[in-house]
A and B are shown apart, each in its own frame.
Chain A
Amino acid sequence: MASTTSSIMDTLFQRTLEDLIKGLRLQLIGESAFISKALDEIRREIKSTDPHTKSNALQKLSYLSSLHHLDMSWAAFHVVEVMSSSRFSHKKIGYHAASLSFSDSTPVLLLITNQLRKDLTNPNNEFEVSLALECLSRIATTDLCRDLTPEIFTLLSSTKIFVRKKAIALVLRVFEKYPDAVKVCFKRLVENLDSTDPHIVSAVVGVFCELTSNDPKSYLPLAPEFYRILVDSKNNWVLIKMLKIFAKLVLLEPRLAKRVVEPVCDHMRRTGAKSLMFECVRTVVSSLSDYEEAVKLAVVKIRELLLDDDPNLKYLGLNALSIVAPKHLWAVLENKEVVIKWLSDEDPNIKRESLRLVMAMVSENNVVEICRVLVNYALKSDPEFCNEILGSILSTCSRNLYEIVNDFDWYVSLLGEMSRILHCQQGDEIENQLIDICMRVRDVRPELVRVGRDLLIDPALLSNHFLYRILSAAAWVSGEYVEFSRNPFELIEALLQPRTNLLPPSIRAIYIQSAFKVLIFCLHSYLLQRESTTSSYPDTSALSELASKREMPEGSDSATFKAPSHSEQDEVFNPRVSNQSFEELSVGNGGDRTISHGQTSTPVTSENSFTYEAVVNHLNLIELALGPLTGSHDVEILERVRNLLCFIELIKGEVLECLVQKEENLNSAEMKSSKIIKLMSDAFSEELGPVSVSAQERVPIPEGLVLKENLNDLEMICGDIQLPSSISFSLVSNHYEEGVGASLPDLQSKEELEPPSEATSLLAEHRKRHGLYYLSSEKNDIVANDYPPANDPKLQDNQNNDTEDLVKLTEQLLVSKKRPNQAKPRPVVVKLDGDVVPVSANRPGPKDDLLSGAVQEVLLGSDTRTSTSRSNPSDKSSSKRKGKEKLITDPSSELNENLGDAEKLDHENPSSRRSKHRTHGKERRHKSPGKIREEREENGQKEKKKSSHRHARHKTRQRADVPLNVVSETPVIPDFLL
C-alpha cells in the first residue's frame, strides 16, 4: 500500500525535464549541489514500476549525462527496460539513452539483441525501425552485428526510403565490426547505387566513400557504376563524394584517370557551387596532376579562390596550391605575389599556408634572400608564427643533406642569427644542425667556431632556456675545433663566465669539457711558441712575483689542490695583496674583461696572444671558476671539473717553476708537464668521426665468446650484492690523463678528496669573504633580468613595408631565375655512413584485411551476376560490359575449378601487375583499346606462366596484399573505360 502511494506521489509530483532545466538555470552557484540532488531523485524515480515515471527519470538522466557529463552507466539496465516499453514515446527515450551511454563494454548489451531484432522487423511502425537503426549505428558491437545482419539485409531493400537509407548508412558500421556481413549485404548495397532516389544514392555513395578511403583497391571493379554517377548525378554532395572516391581510384588505375579527367573538368567549369568546384580542383591537383590541361584549368580556379574576399576560399586556394606545388611549381610562381601578400594576413591559418608555399618556392638561387627576409619577418611576428617561420626555414634548408645550401658560411651565421631571435624555440633543431654541419662540412668549421664564439660570449643568451641546447652545441664546436679560434683565451672566459651557473648540469658539463680542450690547446700552442722563442722572454722575476700573487685566490679558494711547495709560500703572503689580485680577476671575470685583458679587445693573431701572463691568468681563472663546483652533486660536472682541476694541478707547478728558473734548467724541468700537454693535445686533436649504426655488426665475434648466455642465475647468486651503477663513462682523454697521472711519481694522490667538512668550511669562509662576487643560486631569476634581452622586438608598424619588400624581392628573384654562379664553389658535404637514403615510401598493408578480402570475394562473384542480371538495354555501360563478360567468362570458369591453387600461386600477382600498370602507364595510354583487350586476353591464358616472371621482376615492390586470384583480377579493369 505504502509503495503504491509513494509511486503515485512520485508520478504526480515528479519533476519533468523542463522543471529540471529551469531549476538548473536558476542556480547561479551551487549547480553541482542541485545536480546531485536531482540525481538522487532520479535514482529513486527510475526504480519506479510506472513506465511514465521511469522514462521521465531516464530522460532527465540522459540530459544531465550528455550536457553535464554525469556518469549514467549504472542505469544501463533501466535503459534496457525503457527500450522495451511498448509506447513509442518511452521507447524513444530509452533508445536515445542507450545510444548515449552504451559502449562496447556495457554488459547489458547481450540483453538487447532480441529487442532490437523485434524493432527492426516491426512491419507497422517505421519510426521504431529507424529508432533501432539509429541506436545500432552508434552502439553496434561485433556480436550485435553478427546476430542482426539478416535483418539489416532485409532492410536494405525496404520499400520505405526513410528506412532504407538509414540501413545503408548503418552498413558501414556493420562491415567495420563484422566483415563477414559483406558476403550477405554487399550485393544489395551495390544495387542501391542504381536507385533512382537521391537520398538512397547519397547514402550509398557516402558509405562507399568511407570504404574506399580505407582500401581503394577493392572497389576498383565498381568504377563503371561510380563513373555513371559522376557523369549523371546533379547532387553536389554526391558528386563531391564521388570525386573523393575517384581521387583514390585513379591513383591505382591510370586508364581510369584518362576517362575521369574530362567529366571532372566539366564539373569544374560548369558548377556554381564553390564546394564542388574546390573538390574538383583538389581531385585534379592531387590525383590527376599528369594532365596538363586539367591542371591549368585548376590553377585558374585556384587563382579565383585566392583573390576572393572570403578567407575560407583564400585558405582553400592556398591549400590547393600547396598540393600542386611539388609537381607544378609554375602554378605557385604564377601566384607568388598573392601568396606573399597573404603571409601578412591576420588569420594564422592563412599565414601558415602561405608560409608553406613560400618555402616551396625556395631554390638554391634564392634561398639566401628568402631566408633573410623571412628571418626579418619572424622578428616582427608573434612568437608562435615566428617559430613556425624558423622551423620551416630550418627544415627546408636541411632537406636532403642541405641540398639547397651553397654557402655554408652564410647558413651557419644564419643559424647563429636565428638563435638570437627572442622567441626562438628551435633550440633542439639548431643544435642538431650545427653539429651535423660541423661533422659534414669541413670548410665551414672556422666560421662555425666564430658563430659559436659569438653565442658563447654573450651573457644575455644564458638567461634564455630555449637556447641552452644551441649553446651546448656552440660550446662543443668551440672546444672541438678550437684551432680555428682567433682568440682561445676569450673562449675560456666565455665558457666559464659566472652566468653559466644558469645552465642545466648536463650542458654545463659540456662547457667545462670544452674549456678543458681549449686550455690544452692554449698550453700546447704556448709551449710550441716558447720552444721557438725561448730567449725573447721579458723579465722573469717580475713575472714570477705576479705568478705567486695570482696563486693566492686559488689558495684561499680551496686548499685541496695546492701543491705543497706553493702552500708554504702562500701562507706568508699578505691577505690584502691576495684580495687585490682576486678583485682584479673578478672584474675581468665579469663584464669588461675585454678591457682588462688587452689582447681580447683587438683581434690579434694567435701567435702573440699566448703570453706567459695570459696562460697563468687563465689557469687561475679556471681554478677560481671551477673551485666551487668540486662540491657539485652532478656526476658529469664533478667528473669534468675534477679532470680539469687535477690537470692544472699537474702542470701548474712545473710551468710556473720552470719559468722562474734560468733557461738552462728549462728543458729538463718542463719535460714532464710539456709531455703531458703534448699527450693531451694529441688526444683531443684526434678527430672522432661518426660511427655507422651497423659498425657493430661488422666486428666479428671472437671464437669462444658466449654472448647469449642467460645471466639470470648470476643475479640469484649475487642478489644481495648491489652492483655499482655503470653510468660513468669516460672519454678517451680521461683515460689518457689517468694513465699519465699514474705514471708520474710526484703527483700521486693530490686529487684525493679531503674530508668534505673541511672543504665546505673553507668554501664557506671564502664565500663569506668574497660573497660579493658570487652569484647566489637563489637569485638566478633576478640576475637573469639584469641583462637586457638579446633582441628587442621591433614595432609591428612596418609590416606592410616588409611584405612589399618580400614581393619585390621574389619578383627580382624569380624573374632573373638564372643568376651568375656563385664565386664560391659549394663545399663538400660529407655523407655519413648512417644516412638513410630516401626511399620511395612503401604503402603500408591494408589495416582491414578481413574487410577488403571479403569485399573482393563478393565482387568476384557479384560482378558477373549483377551485370548479367541487369537487363536494361539502354544502360550503356551494362551492354558494353556484357560483351566483356563473355570474353572473360571462359578463362574464369576454367580457372574457377582450381581456384584454390590459383589463389596460392598468384598470391602477389595483382600488386605486381598493378605496379606494372603504373610504371608503364604512359606507354599504355597511347595504345589502342583493342590492343589492350587482346593483350589482356593473352594475359588470361598466359597468366600462370607470366606470374612467376613478374613476381621476380617486382620483388622489390613488396606490398602486403590480400589473396586475390586471377579471376577476380581480370574483370577488375572495366572494359568500357578503355
Chain B
Amino acid sequence: MIRFILLQNRQGKTRLAKYYVPLEDSEKHKVEYEVHRLVVNRDPKFTNFVEFRTHKVIYRRYAGLFFSLCVDITDNELAYLECIHLFVEILDHFFSNVCELDLVFNFHKVYLILDEFILAGELQETSKK
C-alpha cells in the first residue's frame, strides 16, 4: 500500500504531496524534509530504493523533480518504479510535455489526476491503455 506520494524539486520545495495515512501537519513537514534529504544526494547510479523508517521510499528523478513513493517494505519495488513512470507519462500526456511550472500552476488538476491514479493507497490504473 502506498503511504504517501511526494513531488519535490531539487531545492526541497514540495510541488505535490498526498498522504494516504493520517499525519499531523508538523509530521508531514518532517517527512518531506527527511525524504528530500534521503533522495537528493543520491547518485544517479545508485538504486532507486531507500529505506525510510519502517517503510521504503521508491523514487525517481525527472529533470529537477523527484517523484517519491513511500510503500510497505514487502511491496514490489520494480512495480512501483514503473508506476511512477506511468504517472509521469500521464502527466506528460495531459499537459503535453510537462514541466515543473505546469505542476506549480495547475495544482488542482494534478491532484485530480493523482486521485484517478491512486485511491486509498492502491493503484487504480496499471497501464496506459
Interface residues of A (CB under 8 A from B): 17-18, 21, 25, 59, 63, 66-67, 69, 71, 92-93, 96, 103-104, 133-134, 137-138, 165-166, 169-170, 172-173, 198-199, 202-203, 206-207, 210, 213, 235-238, 240, 244, 274-275, 278-279, 282, 311-312, 314-316, 346-347, 349-350
Which A residues lie within 8 Å of B74 (CB)? 213, 244
**Docked complex Cα distance between A165 and B122 (Å):** 11
Q: A66-B17, A103-B22, A210-B1 are in contact. Are A240 and B124 (CB under 8 A)?
A: no
> Which single residue of chain A is at the shortest CB-CB distance from B29?
A69
B25 CB contacts on chain A under 8 angstroms: 69, 71
Which residue, B13, B26, B105, B111, has most C-beta atoms of chain A within 10 A? B111
Indicate with 1 or 0, residue by residue over B107-123, a CB within 8 angstroms of chain A CB atoms. Answer: 11001100100011011
Write the nearest CB–CB distance from A284 to chain B, whole angstroms: 14
- B63 contacts partner chain A, Cβ-Cβ < 8 Å: no
Q: Which residues of B contact A275 (CB under 8 A)?
A: 76-79, 81-82
Question: Smallest Cβ distance from A199 to chain B, in angstroms?
Answer: 7
- Asked if A207 and B122 make an inter-chain contact with CB atoms under 8 angstroms apart, the answer reads yes
Q: Using A210-B122, A349-B46 as known contacts, list a sample of 15 further A-B pairs with CB atoms less than 8 Å apart, ordered by residue number in A.
A: A17-B107, A103-B22, A134-B115, A137-B119, A138-B20, A173-B120, A198-B126, A240-B76, A244-B74, A275-B79, A278-B77, A278-B78, A312-B81, A316-B77, A316-B78
Contact A134 B79 (CB under 8 A): no
User: Is B10's beta carbon under 8 Å from chain A?
Assistant: no
Question: In the complex, which residue of chain A has the Cβ closest to the Cβ of B80?
Answer: A275
Given contacts A59-B108, A96-B108, A134-B115, is CB(A236)–CB(B79) below 8 Å?
A: yes
Query: Of A66, A244, A278, A349, which one neighbours B50 at CB under 8 angstroms?
Result: A349
Collect the chain B residues with CB atoms within 8 Å of residue A137's CB. Answer: 119-120
Given contacts A21-B107, A59-B108, contact A166 B124 (CB under 8 A): yes
Interface class of chain B by DSSP: mixed
> Within 8 Å of chain A (Cβ to Cβ): is B53?
no
A18 to B126 CA separation, bound complex (whole angstroms): 32
Asked whether A311 and B124 contact (CB < 8 A) given A244-B74, A278-B78, the answer is no
Task: Please indicate the chain B residues that have their CB under 8 angstroms from the CB of A67 in the complex.
Answer: 13-17, 107
The chain B residue sitting closest to A101, CB to CB, is B25
Which A residues touch B79, using CB under 8 A? 236-237, 240, 275, 279
Docked Cα-Cα span, A700 to B111, in Å, equals: 70
A17 to B15, CA, bound (A): 15
Selected A-B contacts with CB under 8 Å, 12 pairs: A67-B17, A93-B108, A207-B122, A237-B126, A275-B78, A278-B77, A311-B45, A311-B47, A312-B78, A315-B47, A347-B47, A349-B51
Most buried by A among B29, B72, B119, B123: B119
Residues of B within 8 A of A235 (CB): 126-127
B77 and A166: CB pair below 8 A?
A: no
Which of B17, B46, B124 meets A346, CB within 8 Å?
B46
| Alpha-carbon distance A274/B77, docked complex (angstroms) | 10
Find out whether the CB atom of B46 lies under 8 angstroms from the CB atom of A96: no
Q: How far, in angstroms, from A207 to B119 measured CA to CA in the complex?
A: 11
Q: How far is the CB of B115 from chain A (nearest CB, A)?
A: 5
The interface residues of chain A lying within 8 Å CB-to-CB of B17 are 66-67
Residues from chain A with Cβ under 8 Å of B22 in the complex: 103-104
Chain B residues near A103 (CB, 8 Å)? Answer: 22
The reply to whether A169 and B47 form a contact with Cβ atoms under 8 Å apart is no
Most B CB within 10 A of own CB, among A59, A138, A314: A138
Is B99 located at the chain interface by the 8 A CB criterion?
no
Q: A275-B78, A278-B76, A312-B77 are in contact. Are A21 and B105 (CB under 8 A)?
A: yes
- Specify which of B14, B119, B123 is in contact with A237 (CB 8 Å cutoff): B123
Please report the C-alpha to C-alpha distance between residue A133 and residue B1 in the assembled complex, in whole angstroms: 18
Q: Is B28 an interface residue (CB 8 A)?
A: yes
B residues 42-59 touching A (CB-CB < 8 Å): 43, 45-51
CB-CB under 8 A for A350 and B47, given A244-B74, A275-B76, A312-B81: yes
CB distance from B117 to the nearest CB of A (A): 11
Q: Which of B47, B77, B111, B125 contacts A96 (CB 8 A)?
A: B111
Whether A346 pairs with B108 at a CB distance below 8 angstroms is: no
Is the pair B43, A169 in contact by a Cβ cutoff of 8 Å? no
List the A side residues contacting B123 at CB < 8 Å.
202, 206, 237
Q: Which one of B13, B105, B122 contacts A206 once the chains associate, using CB atoms below 8 Å?
A: B122
Q: Give Cα distance in the complex from A59 to B108, angstroms.
A: 8
Closest B residue by C-beta to A67:
B14
* Residue interface mask B72-91, A partner, CB < 8 A = 1: 10101111011000000000
Q: How far is the CA of A311 from the CA of B45 in the complex (A)?
A: 7
Which of chain A's residues have a CB closer than 8 A to the CB of B76? 240, 244, 275, 278-279, 282
Whether, in the assembled complex, B98 has its beta carbon less than 8 Å from a beta carbon of chain A, the answer is no
CA A568 to CA B46, docked complex, whole Å: 78
Q: How far is the CA of A210 from the CA of B71 in the complex (A)?
A: 12
Q: Which of B45, B78, B122 contacts A203 (CB 8 A)?
A: B122
Among B49, B105, B120, the residue within 8 A (CB) of A349 is: B49
B108 engages A349 (CB within 8 Å):
no
A937 CB, nearest partner CB in chain B, Å: 38
List the A side residues contacting B20 at CB < 8 Å: 138
Bound CA span A172–B2, Å: 13
Considering the complex, give the chain A residue whose CB is closest to the CB of B78.
A275
Q: Which residue of B lies closest to A311 (CB)?
A: B47
In the bound assembly, the distance between CA atoms of A311 and B81 in angstroms comes to 13
CA distance A236 to B127 in the complex (A): 10
Closest A residue to B75 by beta carbon equals A244
Q: Which residues of A contact B120 (CB under 8 A)?
A: 137-138, 169-170, 172-173
Shortest Cβ distance from A105 into chain B, in angstroms?
10
Give complex CA distance A165, B105 in Å: 30
Q: How far is the CA of A278 from the CA of B74 in the complex (A)?
A: 12
* Chain B residues, CB < 8 A from A172: 120, 122
